[in-house]
Structure 1
Amino acid sequence: MLRRQDVGHRVVVRRIVGVTPDRTLYTDALGELVDLTDTDLTIATAKGTVKVPLREVHRAKRVPPARRPPARDVIDLELAANAAWPAPVQARLGGWILRAAGNWTGRANSALAVGDPDRTLEAAIDAVAEWYVAHGQRPLINAPMPLAAPVNAALDARGWTSRPLTLVQTTLLSPLVSRLEARTDLPPVELADTPGDDWYAMVAEHKGTLPADAVRILTGTEEVVFAQVRDAGGELLAVARGAVTDPGRWLGVSLLQTAPAARRRGIAQQVVRALAQWAAQHNATRAYLQVEERNTPAVTLYGRIGFCTHHTYLTREAPL
């Protein structure tokens, strides 16, 4: 049977779906283990998320990942993403990065567990907890999977909980632009060096009130751009943020939002296209984004335009 430390890994589950006089009927599910409780397990498969009661599980085991990126690639992408979302307070614990930003977003307020923390794993977790308590925050650890599987296992043993699984998805810029044809029937995408008040207001609808630390994160990257789409009357229809960072000259796409009345018209795809063109002018060659696995509409959209999951991560929370 699977254990908590298998969350974030690729697994296969044989499920009992029926019993006849002659035999027991089974079906198999292959995918990433998203959650495991005392009663159910949840798998993200190619056809969607599947929740299986444990009483129906005949067999279950971890299997090798379909396409496991090299550890160095995962680390470099996580470092590029950290540079694109710069927490105003940062410290080093060997290769780990401790980050604080007044509790605005998990990314900016969690320890990034990549590389060697220069001490035993147990001592590293203790040091993370002490640092966040000293900063008046609940300790969080961002654990990329499967790279940080030992970290997740150690946190399981300590009773740390998990936030929803996040997919880190990537694509090449040139094919992305080619797939997204320019649309003349839609309002144009405007790119600005700084966000306006209504841009902030639309982001706040999704992310909550934006404190001063949020503004520092959003504007704290050297190569950053803010996209917006307006209707003929000047009403804001969509926003997004793009940042190009090293290592690897990655475009990070974040905060892509469309007003409810403007959805399913292709506006979001045009925003991504505009960001990709801008990033190519800044010598970027690849793009990434981070999306919760449970956000089915967004995952479907990104898959349709060519994004694939590079790796995943779990944000782990210390017990209260």
Structure 2
Amino acid sequence: MLRRQDVGHRVVVRRIVGVSQDRPLFTDALGELVELTETDLTLATPKGTLRVPLNEIHRAKRVPAARRPPAADVVALELAANEAWPAPTQATLGSWILRAADNWTGRANSALPIGDPDRTLEAAIDAVEQWYAAHGQRAMINTPMPLAAPVNAALDSRGWTARPLTLVQTTRVTTMLEATTARPDLPTVELADTPTDAWYAMVADHKGGLPPTGRRIITGVREAVFASVLDPGGTPIAVARGVITGPDRWLGLSLIQTAPSARRRGLAAHVMRAVGHWALQQQAPRTYLQVEERNTAAVALYQKLTFRTHHTYLTREAPL
């Protein structure tokens, strides 16, 4: 049977799904073990997240990992992503990064446990909890997988919960552009160095609000572009944000949104294409985005645009 140290690794699970002629029927599932509790386990599979009660499992074991990026590549991309979404309050715990932003978005209000925290793992988690308590916030930790598998296992033992699995997906900018076509039938994408009030308003509607801290995060990167598609009345119906960070000059795509009344017209790909052309002019060769696995419509779109999962992460939350 699997153990907590198997979290973050590739496993196969044989599950009992019924009985035929007094003999059990089985089905197998292969994926990344992202959570293991006393009652069930959760796998991230190519078809989505699968939760399996432990009492339905006949056999389960770790299997050789599929081809994964080197740990150094995961760290480099996570650091570029941290620069792209800069929390106004940051501190370090050895190589770990502690971030706070008045609770606006999980990314800006969670610790990033990469590298050595200069103390034991248990002491590091204690320090994270104390730091967030001092800032009046619930402690959260983002755990890139499988890099942070030991952290995940330790958090499981402390009763930390997990938000839905997030996919960090990448592709080359030129490959993304080759997968799209120019759309002269759609309104022109407008690119600006700073967001307009209407651009902010669309983001606020989607995020359930946009405090001053949120605006600081959105505009906190030097190389940035803000894309908009406007309806005839001048109101944004699609927006996106692109920033370039890290020594490898990654293009980070975020806040890709389409108004409900304008969906299924190709506007999301339209704004992403415009930001991609801007990135090539800035000599940014590769791009990434972060999307919850359960957002199947967005995942399907990004797959068409040649994005593939580089790694995943869970946002873990301390018990209340």
Bin for the TM-score computed over the shorter chain: over 0.9
CA distance in 2, matches of 1:32, 1:263: 32
- The 5 A counterparts of 1:58-73 are 58-73=58-73
Shift of 1:100: 0.9
Structure 1 residues 253 and 2: CA distance shift in structure 2, 3 A: same
**Where does residue 246 of structure 1 map in the other structure?**
246
Shift of 1:104: 0.5
Tell me the TM-score normalised to structure 1 length: 0.95
1:268 partner letter: A
Shift of 1:60: 1.7
CA distance in 2, matches of 1:238, 1:9: 38
The residue matched to 1:171 in structure 2 has which SS? strand
CA distance in 2, matches of 1:113, 1:137: 18
- The 5 A counterparts of 1:185-264 are 185-264=185-264
CA distance in 2, matches of 1:318, 1:51: 21
Shift of 1:9: 3.3
Shift of 1:162: 1.2
Q: Deviations over 1:216-271 (max 9, x none)?
A: 10001000111111122323211111100013110101011101111111110111
CA distance in 2, matches of 1:76, 1:117: 17
**Where does residue 13 of structure 2 map in the other structure?**
13
**Where does residue 129 of structure 1 map in the other structure?**
129
CA RMSD of aligned residues (A): 1.7
Structure 1 residues 59 and 267: CA distance shift in structure 2, 3 A: same
**Where does residue 120 of structure 1 map in the other structure?**
120
Q: Deviations over 1:43-70 (max 9, x none)?
A: 3322334343433321122323312111
**Where does residue 74 of structure 1 map in the other structure?**
74
Shift of 1:38: 4.7
Structure 1 residues 6 and 164: CA distance shift in structure 2, 3 A: farther
2:221 partner letter: T
CA distance in 2, matches of 1:154, 1:53: 21
Shift of 1:283: 1.3
**Where does residue 105 of structure 2 map in the other structure?**
105
Shift of 1:78: 0.3
Structure 1 residues 184 and 155: CA distance shift in structure 2, 3 A: same
Shift of 1:22: 6.8
**Where does residue 294 of structure 1 map in the other structure?**
294
CA distance in 2, matches of 1:300, 1:183: 20
Matched-pair contact (CA < 8 Å) for 1:15–1:27: yes
**Where does residue 24 of structure 2 map in the other structure?**
24
Matched-pair contact (CA < 8 Å) for 1:8–1:313: no
1:283 partner letter: Q
**Where does residue 169 of structure 2 map in the other structure?**
169
* Structure 1 residue runs without a partner (length 5+): none
The residue matched to 1:66 in structure 2 has which SS? coil
Structure 1 residues 124 and 34: CA distance shift in structure 2, 3 A: closer
CA distance in 1, matches of 2:227, 2:311: 26
Matched-pair contact (CA < 8 Å) for 1:8–1:314: no
Shift of 1:36: 4.3
The residue matched to 1:112 in structure 2 has which SS? coil
Matched-pair contact (CA < 8 Å) for 1:8–1:312: no
1:25 partner letter: L
Matched-pair contact (CA < 8 Å) for 2:240–2:254: yes
The count of corresponding residues between Structure 1 and Structure 2 is 320
Tell me the TM-score normalised to structure 2 length: 0.95
* Farther off after superposition, 112-121 or 16-25: 16-25
Matched-pair contact (CA < 8 Å) for 1:8–1:165: no
